[in-house]
Structure 1
């Protein structure tokens, strides 16, 4: 058997296991999901599951890490060094959420106990802190507070948007978020 067949089979197995976990997370907490349930839904036997993942928590961790890594790659396709690029960066983030809506909405659901929101915040904090240092927008002491406030608010706005069926385009939402960040409530 060739390596490409093994690779395809391995990718397929991981994909159906991930999809199965996401489906189950829509119904219940990770702590209430068993490996047996995941395997039954994926139509994969448990020994195959354990060949790829330690347990359901390891599978969830891998899903979260892949999304963060994928988001980083997606955003790194462009350079956002100028202040004017803020709107474009926000729009790209929102486009990413649209293209991965099902997974992102499930992992950002408040009823689901995952660490995904913290990972998104850490990723955004790192990305924005580097950008803000480049344009010297805030002093170092203040920047971590401004960043935390801005990112937390933005994530919650994205969650509300997602739960409303993404009733606005990514461009419209980027303009709303950017306006709130730049002008606060006085700009609304």
Structure 2
């Protein structure tokens, strides 16, 4: 799978053949076909594997007890998210910045969304929400996913800890106070 990611970094999905993948992985085509139906199946399995791992990481992080927002400590869920993405940066760059078939970016957003849904559910805050849950989860998933996409595009110029802390601060202070607008 790493060979496939390496090829996807330099070539469009439609331009890649099974021979390209097999040669890069130093296997023969029959070995490839013993594990995958075609390159679409390889892509789907690769995405499913990584996003399943991400989901496990986020669920584990969201259940680590009551998190008290702090401007000096990153949210453990955000830290786990940024660390996971950093550890698999080549894969996520391909996923988020290449034109791949299927609804792969939607699955990425759903994984983030579900991680935060687990956090909210575990806290029992459903009745205390200030905005509808669906809008809140969409805002979190799309803004966090967008920040991560830009961070990857910038070759992870900051550490996962730094990024998680900055996103924690934006979330904790709120969008307007983070812009310097105060009541």
Q: Provide the TM-score with structure 1 as the length reference.
A: 0.79
Shift of 1:38: 1.0
Shift of 1:94: 0.5
1:159 aligns with 2:136: no
Select 2:56's aligned residue among 69, 73, 93: 73
Q: Partners of 1:171 and 1:43 in 2: how far apart?
A: 36
Shift of 1:141: 7.8
The higher relative CO (CA closer than 8 Å, separation ≥ 6) is in 2
Query: Does the Cα contact within 8 Å between 1:68 and 1:120 map onto a contact in 2?
Result: yes
Shift of 1:186: 2.5
1:186 aligns with 2:177: yes
Equivalent position of 1:3 in the other structure: none
SS of residue in 2 equivalent to 1:84: coil
SS of residue in 2 equivalent to 1:82: coil
1:113 aligns with 2:104: no
Count of residue pairs brought into register by the alignment: 170
Unaligned residue ranges in structure 2 (runs of 5+): none
Q: Partners of 2:130 and 2:169 in 1: how far apart?
A: 23
1:130 aligns with 2:118: yes
Q: Choose 69-78 or 133-142, whichever is displaced more.
A: 133-142
Equivalent position of 1:38 in the other structure: 21
Q: What is the 5 A alignment of 1:38-117?
A: 38-78=21-61, 79-84=63-68, 87-109=75-97, 111-114=98-101, 115-117=103-105
Q: What is the 5 A alignment of 1:8-23?
A: 18-23=1-6
Cα deviation per residue 1:130-154 (whole Å; 9 max; x = unaligned)? 3223331565981111111221111
Q: Partners of 2:145 and 2:82 in 1: how far apart?
A: 10
Query: Does the Cα contact within 8 Å between 1:35 and 1:46 map onto a contact in 2?
Result: yes
Q: Provide the TM-score with structure 2 as the length reference.
A: 0.81
Query: Does the Cα contact within 8 Å between 1:30 and 1:57 map onto a contact in 2?
Result: no
Cα deviation per residue 1:35-85 (whole Å; 9 max; x = unaligned)? 121112222211111110000010011111111122233344442442427
Equivalent position of 1:177 in the other structure: 167
Equivalent position of 2:139 in the other structure: 149
In angstroms, what is the RMSD of aligned CA positions? 2.3
More helix by share: 1
